């Protein structure tokens, strides 16, 4: 293989290499957060994520909205919410107009606990990225925004191709 062919092969592999680097970085940061949540708060990442979603929605969320935001099945959410209800961190209420819909919201206790977890989490993520300058982080944020758009567009093209083909 000559230099041109090698360069072309590297170019074709570049998206895969970028994906693997992104995935690896996310997994490493996630491992730091999981370990610290467990050690500092005897908590899990799914639990933190659910509390975070409820914290940002003071009026509460339906079970379906929580599942969609967390990108997990309703069964996963139901068990976790059940445990949080038992601990007094969230309330589960039936919708007044449609009894099939359940609303979930933070209790004052849940709000207080999440309010102590959030700054710690921000610190852990900040520490994980400490070797990157603010300029690096802004550039990465812009590039990831472009990537997100590219993936969304590719998904639309793929779905459109399947429907038409």
Task: Measure the CA–CA gap between 114 and 108, rounded to whole angstroms.
Answer: 10
Whether pTM > 0.85 for this model: the answer is no
DSSP 16: H
Number of H helices, E strands in the chain: 6, 3
Find, among 138, 109, 103, 113, the residue nearest to 42 by Cα: 113
Residue 52: inside a domain, yes or no?
yes
Find, among 22, 47, 48, the residue nearest to 121 by Cα: 48
* Domain limits for position 99: 3-131
CA 83 to chain centre: 21
* CATH number where 40 lies: 1.10.10.10
Residue 150: inside a domain, yes or no?
no
Number of folded domains that form the chain: 1
From first to last of its 165 residues, the chain has per-residue pLDDT tens of 566 555 566 788 999 999 999 999 999 999 999 999 999 999 999 999 999 999 999 999 999 899 999 988 878 899 999 999 999 999 999 878 888 888 999 999 999 999 999 999 999 999 999 999 999 999 999 999 999 999 999 988 877 655 444
DSSP 61: E
Q: Contact 12/20 with Cβ under 8 angstroms? A: no
Residue 72: inside a domain, yes or no?
yes
């Amino acid at each position: 293989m000559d230099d041109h062919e090698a360069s072309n092969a590297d170019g074709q592999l570049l998206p895969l290499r970028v994906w693997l680097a992104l995935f690896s970085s996310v997994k490493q940061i996630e491992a730091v957060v999981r370990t610290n949540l467990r050690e500092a708060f005897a908590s899990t990442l799914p639990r933190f994520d659910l509390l975070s979603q409820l914290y940002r929605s003071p009026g509460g969320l339906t079970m379906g909205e929580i599942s969609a935001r967390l990108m997990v099945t309703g069964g996963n959410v139901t068990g976790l919410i059940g445990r949080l209800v038992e601990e007094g961190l969230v309330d589960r209420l039936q919708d007044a107009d449609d009894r099939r819909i359940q609303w979930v919201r933070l209790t004052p206790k849940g709000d207080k606990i999440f309010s102590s977890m959030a700054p710690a989490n921000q610190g852990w993520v900040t520490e994980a990225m400490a070797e990157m300058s603010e300029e690096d982080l802004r550039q990465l944020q812009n590039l990831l925004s472009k990537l997100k758009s590219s993936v969304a567009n590719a998904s639309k093209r793929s779905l459109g191709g399947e429907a038409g083909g």
